[in-house]
């Protein structure tokens, strides 16, 4: 039993293949897609709240962008906090940091669209 422990520890710190989809990478990708959707929806809501592209959906889009950005940021923070290694270890830390950038952008766009929709209503 004492001899198996160093071998197990050595196997845990080995970098994984670049194409291996681990749980950390999966969560990072899901959060990034959610955040990107929030950025797109927030941008569209901001354009609609200005009255350039139709009316009526700016407020709902702003709320969806805020929620998507918040979820992206929280998931990215959890991935970064749970990562035991750096880039290339399979923990999804690079994607987690991307999520910590994309999520707040979606929240900012959603907040701006919500503020603009309240002002014009």
Per-residue pLDDT, 14: 61
E-assigned strands of the chain? none
Instruction: Write down the pLDDT at residue 1.
Output: 47
First to last CA, the chain: 70
> Residue 121: its pLDDT value, please?
54
* 3-state class (DSSP) for residue 86: coil
What pLDDT tens digit does each residue of the chain (121 aa) get? 455 555 554 555 566 777 788 888 899 999 999 999 999 999 999 887 665 545 556 788 999 999 999 999 999 999 999 988 888 888 889 999 999 999 999 999 999 999 987 765 5
């Amino acid at each position: 039993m004492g001899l198996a422990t160093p071998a197990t520890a050595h196997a845990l710190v080995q970098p994984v293949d670049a194409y291996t989809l681990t749980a950390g990478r999966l969560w990072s990708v899901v959060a990034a897609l959610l955040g990107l959707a929030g950025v797109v929806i927030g941008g569209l809501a901001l354009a609609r709240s200005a009255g350039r592209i139709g009316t009526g959906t700016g407020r709902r889009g702003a709320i969806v962008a805020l929620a998507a950005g918040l979820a992206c940021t929280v998931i990215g923070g959890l991935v970064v906090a749970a990562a035991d290694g750096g880039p290339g270890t399979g923990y999804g830390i690079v994607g987690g940091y991307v999520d910590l950038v994309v999520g707040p952008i979606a929240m900012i766009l959603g907040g701006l669209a919500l503020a603009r929709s309240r002002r014009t209503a």
